[in-house]
A and B are shown apart, each in its own frame.
Chain A
Amino acid sequence: MNNLMNILKKELREMFRDKKSLAMMLIIPILIPLLVMGMSALFESEINKPITDYNKIGFDYELSEEEKKLADNFEINVVTSDIDTLKDKYKNGEINLYVTKDNTTYTIHGEDNETTSYASALMDSYFASYKEYLQTNYLEENEINPNEVTNIITVKEDLEEVENYYGNYIVNYGFLFIIMAITISATYPATDATAGEKERGTLETLLTFPIKSKDIIIGKFLSVSLSSIITGLLSLVLMLISLVIANNSFEIYKDTNLMLSTSSLIFTIVVIIAYSLLISGLCIAIASKSKTFKEAQSALTPLTFISFFPGMIAFMAGVSSSPILSLIPFLNYTLLFQDIVTGTIDIVNILLMSISTIVVITLVLVVIIKQYKSEKVLF
């Protein structure tokens, strides 16, 4: 135990004094506030696009007084001209759409792009109102009460908003970034503590010390885990601060509370710690098989991808957590994060994830200790 603490102290000293290790610990967490604020701003700009960005509509016919009034109500900036001029104006970006008329058929022209889709939605609303106006007039001219026809059925919406789409999206992405931050944070110190030590020639010295292989490995494992946990918790704190700011700054999160509840926060910390321990163990296992720092970095690259791709795919494909999936390393952490976001966390899944993590870490540590007991670790 005493020697384990000596190794742990030595590893932590080396890690916290190494600028590269520190950079790896901090670089992704620092990006999380940028991600939250940047994505929120992007979502909001998509939703609350100013009407002046897409309300310049060309018409190849003169609008009637009623149509002009309606266009005014919809804040449509009317540009009337012949078809060729309208085409040119559209190409030059002076108008966002143009409408042609052939008797009672109106055609909306434009290319399929983001601005046109906004303008097209505006014109759909405009023509729906204009159609209603003409229908009402027609019914009145034929002495039929329009209300009897237009309100022949009534449709009401009673949709309870249980979750904020953008809120969930941003928190889920934040969690994916936390996983990425932990992975990157574990990679560098794990490489440095194993292959790096071999390459620098200090491993031979370490092996002459009166220390059991078990203490060497557990000491190294705990130091790398501690670095990953610090990164994970720092990322979480920065994400929560960013969410509070975003919650109060962006309209899209109006009437939504992006903050995690106390129980969700506790579960999040449990998942962060479990993932940090797992990825630290795996990184040490892979890196200790390499002879040089560079070789270890190359060997760890696939792990970096494996760590967040299953989760990302599950998130995109809308896979839900289950007891069986909670046993699958990597996938289980992301699914549990999703459950935390939606508030549907199941304690059984948390327990299964913890058991799965402990089993994998134990196996990994047994393999590395065996490796360090063998002289092969030197070569």
Chain B
Amino acid sequence: MLEVCDLKKKFVKYNEKHQKEEFYANNGISFKAKEGEIIGILGPNGAGKTTLLRMIAGILEPTSGTISFGKLDYHHNEIEIKKSIAYLSGNTKLYNTLSPYELLKMCGNIYGVPKDKLESRIKEISKKLNMDSFLYNRIENLSTGQTQRVNIARCLVHDPKYYILDEATSGLDIISSQIILDFIKEEKKHGKIILYSTHYMEEAENICDYVIMINKGVLIKEGTPTAIKKDTKTTNLRDAFFCLIGGVSYE
């Protein structure tokens, strides 16, 4: 079980008079995620999705609120929690001068995969993601689709319990996106908890069990896609979102 409770993140920005101004990228967000569940985090660009996922992944520290991974929390078990997480964002880049094999070996070692199991784990993942033909080539020489498969393999190597995927399909072509979506569905079957942020509402509607909608750092609605559509009397999540924010605003 992953539980996020009243999470807030305050940042400082400068206004037109070059004065410091505080603002909340996330303001009191709470939700729970159970094993085998895909939680969709939806919202437009700048809604606060990345900040939320970065806090859950332990990259950013919350201003207030708590994040619990079962009985563990970041204050006392940071390394242990990070060992059970795989983080993949649309901006995630890999070490170009390494080969996929070297990268997977490095990640396996860092995540504490036993040495005797690591080789067979890499072979298994390579076969599963059809990476054998480029496993020993440098990442800088791979295509976008191949690089994305390496990125997924990196997430799989330590068999994590939690997947945090931030706009993972953003900017990818239809085939590369499908690789990610297939991977998410596969991991759900294995009982993993998957947090999946996107601004593609249709994509979320297809794969998410539960959705939380964020706008301007505030949770505006949560529930199953069906329940949200029913509550808002709409036929899809896109319309539901516009209904909840009161139409398009150009602020």
Contact = CB atoms under 8 A, between A and B. Distances in A.
Contacts of B85: 208
A14 B93 contact: no
A294 interface: no
- Interface residues of A toward B: which range? 20 to 34
A interface secondary structure, majority: helix
B92 A205 contact: yes
Contact of B89 (A13, A18, A200, A204): A204
Contact of A210 (B79, B92, B138): B79
Contacts of A17: 97, 138
B91 A201 contact: yes
A212 interface: yes
Nearest to A215: B110
B97 A202 contact: no
Interface stretch (B53-61, B171-179, B199-207): B53-61
A278 B1 CA distance: 47
B95 A14 contact: yes
Interface in A197-236: 200-202, 204-205, 207-212
Interface in A171-219: 200-202, 204-205, 207-212
Contacts of A202: 93-95
B82 interface: yes
B82 A210 contact: yes
Nearest to B92: A205
A209 B82 contact: yes
B134 interface: no
Given A13-B98, A210-B79, A210-B82, A205 B93 contact: yes
A132 to B, nearest CB: 77
Interface string B193-234: 000000000000000000000000000000000000000000
A207 B59 CA distance: 6
A14 B98 CA distance: 7
B106 A204 contact: no
A200 B93 contact: yes
Contacts of B109: 2, 6
A102 interface: no
Contact of B91 (A6, A204, A207): A204
B110 A3 contact: yes
A35 interface: no
B79 A204 contact: no
Interface in B86-128: 87, 89, 91-98, 102, 106-107, 109-112
Nearest to B99: A13
Contact of A209 (B61, B89, B98, B110): B110
B188 interface: no
B57 A208 contact: yes
A10 B58 contact: no
B83 interface: yes
Interface of B: 54, 57-61, 78-80, 82-83, 85, 87, 89, 91-98, 102, 106-107, 109-112, 138
Given A13-B102, A17-B97, A211-B110, 10 more contacts: A9-B106, A200-B93, A202-B94, A202-B95, A204-B89, A208-B85, A209-B82, A210-B111, A211-B79, A212-B79
24 contacts: A6-B109, A10-B98, A10-B106, A13-B97, A13-B98, A201-B92, A202-B93, A202-B95, A204-B59, A204-B89, A204-B91, A204-B92, A205-B87, A207-B58, A207-B59, A208-B82, A209-B82, A209-B107, A209-B111, A210-B78, A210-B111, A210-B112, A378-B59, A378-B60
